[in-house]
Amino acid sequence: MTKKELLAVARKHGTPVVVIDHEVIRRNYANFRRHLPRVQAYYAVKANPAPEIVRTLYKAGASFDVASLPEFLLVHKNIERLPAKERQDFIWDKIIYANPIKPKETLQALDQYKPLLTYDNLEELRKIQRYAPHAGLVLRLRVPNTGSMVELSSKFGCDSGVAVDLIVEAFRAGLVVEGLSFHVGSQCTNFDNFVQALNIAAAVRQEALTRGHEIKILDIGGGFPVPYDDRVKPLRPLARKINAEIDRLFSKDMEILAEPGRYLVATAATAIARIIGKAFRDGKTCYYIDDSVYHTYSGIVFDHCQYRLHAFRSGENELSTVFGQTCDGMDIITQSEELPNLEIDDLVYSERIGAYSNASSTWFNGFAPAQVVHVNE
C-alpha cells in the first residue's frame, strides 16, 4: 500500500492499527506454488489466525497446518461458512495437526474426523492409540536447524536412529503411519538444512520400506524465509535446491506437503502507530508510540525479529530510540532507528509485520491490541 493509503486507514480507524493486504497474501501463495509445484501448501495458522486470512487462502487452494484444537475448529468453521459455489466438498486431508504433543482431550475431540496427526515419541503414540485410534499418523523427524531464526529441533522430532522402530510400533498398535515430517527451524536462511533434512527423511523411508512399511507422504515443514532485509535470499534458489532433492530422492507418486506460515503473511501487513511521547535520554531523542512489544511488536520478543520503523514526515534523519506504550522497561521497539525530528501525534509505520505479531497480542497494562483492517479481500 502507498503512504497515502496507509494514512487514510489511520485517519479512519485511529491507531494503533494493522493493515493486512490480501492481494499480497494471494501473490505470496501463487509464488510459493510456482516455485514448488510438487508441494501442497498447508498454511501454518499460528502465524496469523485471522479468519479472513484462512478464507482467502482456502479460496486460493491452500490446505492448513494447525497446532491446537481451537485452530482446527477455526479452519473448519470458516471453510464451512463459505458460499456453496466457493466451497469444494470439505475433506479432512485439507488439515494436518502438526503439533507433536496433544492433550488427550484434544485427541478425543479430533478422533471423529479421522485426522492426520504428528507424533515423535512412544508415549504420544500410546496416547493416540487410546484416544484417537482413527487418526492417520505422521512421524516427525529431528533435523538440523543451524542458522534458523527460531530453533525447533531441541523440542520436537525423533532421532533418525529410532524413527523406524516408532513406525513399526505404530503399525503393531493397529495405527497407520502415512507420512514423515520435519521442520528446519523458522526463518531458515541456511538452505543446507533442507538438503540434509530431505536426505534424512529419504533414508528413514527406505529403511521403513525394507521392514514392510511404505510411507506415502512427506511434510517438509516450514521455515521458508521472508525478505525482512536485503541479506535474505529469495525463495527461488531455495526452491531449486528443494525441487532437485525431491526429484532425486522420491518417486513421482510421493505426496509432498509443506507448512509455510511466515512466508505467506509476513509481507502482507503494515502496522501504523502514533507518537504519544517524546524525550531526550542518553544523548538521543526517544519516542513513545501507542503500540508495544506486548502487542503488534511481540515478534521482537518471541520471534527474534526486528522491525524497521518509518516516518510519514520527511526531514533529516537522526539516530533515535523508540519505546512502546507500556510501563515495562523491556518494552523497547528499537534503540537505533534513523528517524526525522517527530512531534507528538505524528505517525510511524512498520512493514512486513504480518507473521507472529498481532497474533501474539495481549491486554498487558490494560492496553488493547491494535485494530486490524483487512483490504482487498
User: Which candidate in 158, 286, 305, 327 is catalytic?
Assistant: 327
Q: Do the beta carbons of residue 55 and residue 25 sit within 8 Å?
A: no
Please tell me the distance from the alpha carbon of residue 214 to that of residue 41, in angstroms, as a whole number.
23
Grid cell locating 246: 525431491
Would you call 362 helix, strand, or coil by DSSP?
A: coil
Provide the angle, in degrees to the nearest 10, between the axes of the packed helices 69-80 and 51-60. Answer: 60
- In DSSP terms, 148 is beta-bridged to 188
Is 137 in a helix, a strand, or coil? strand
Cell of 359: 497474533
Q: How far is CA 206 from the centre of its chain?
A: 30
Cα angle 28-178-147, degrees, rounded to a multiple of 5: 45
Distance CA 177, CA 207 (A): 14
SS (HEC) of 1-19: CCHHHHHHHHHHHCCCEEE
Tell me whether residue 114 is exposed, middle or buried, using C-beta atoms within 10 angstroms of its C-beta: 0 to 12, 13 to 18, 19 or more: middle
Our answer to whether residue 158 is catalytic in this structure is no
Neighbours of 302 (CB within 10 A): 13
The residue assigned the cell 503399525 is: 171
Task: Write the CB contacts of 125 (distance below 8 Å, at least 6 apart in sequence).
Answer: 119, 137, 166, 169, 170, 173, 175
Active site residues: 327
